[in-house]
Every structure is written in structure tokens, then in C-alpha cells.
Amino acid sequence: VGLFMGSAATIKWTGVSVILAYALAGFVLYLVMRALGEMLYVDPSVGSFANYATKYIHPLAGYLTVLGECISVGYGWYIRNNCSWFVSRLLVSRRSKLGNRRCCVSNTNIS
């Protein structure tokens, strides 16, 4: 299923061009991964790929790479913690509304 899940409407609307766009994007990603593999082979260093951006492009490129990664990880952490808080509050409020009913899975009280 993967990449084409839900893209039937897009393929119907645009025709073969969207498949060519997927192929082009996949080929570019393949080239980027090959380039990262070559850099890792030539200069095996400890760190992330931001080290290669700093060393081979510009220190600003490395800084922006690390900044983007930190924002991405921080946003994921924020969403994960707030969603878990919301779900736990929702479940606690639902359990309190059930009162002393017995659970159908086991013979224990829910509250």
C-alpha cells in the first residue's frame, strides 16, 4: 500500500504525471542517500549529518540543519505530551461518569 495509499484521486486527476513526479522525487532521494553514504565512507566521524553540512558547505548550513532538527524533535515532543495528557484526562472523566458499573471484560469495578 505505502506511497500510493489514497493517491487514486490524484492519479485520476493528473494522470501519469504524478507517477513521474513520485519517480523523480524517489530518484533525488536515492542520490542524496548515496551522497551521504559516500561522505560517511570518506570521512567517518561521530555526529549527525549536520557535521557534513558544516564541514563541506558552510557553518551556517550546519547550524540551520541542527536548528531544523531541534524544532522538529521539540514539536514532536510537545504534541506527544499534550495529546497523552488530553487522552488521559478524557479517559479519567469518562471513567468517573460510569460510576460503579462493572466492567464487561472482567468482574471488577471500573471506578
| Amino acid at the residue 77 | W
Residue 1 in this model has a pLDDT that exceeds 60: no
Q: What would the pLDDT profile of 12-47 be if each residue is shown by its tens digit? A: 888 888 889 889 999 999 999 998 889 889 888 888
Mean pLDDT of 70-84: 77
- Is the pLDDT score of 79 beyond 50? yes
Distance CA 86, CA 88 (A): 6
Distance CA 92, CA 90 (A): 6
- pLDDT for 59: 94
Question: Residue 101: which residues within 8 A CB-CB, separation 6 or more?
Answer: 109, 110
DSSP H helices in the chain: 8-14, 17-42, 50-56, 59-98
Give the Cα-Cα-Cα angle 95, 98, 99 (nearest 5 degrees): 100
pTM: 0.52
Higher-confidence residue of 35 and 5: namely 35
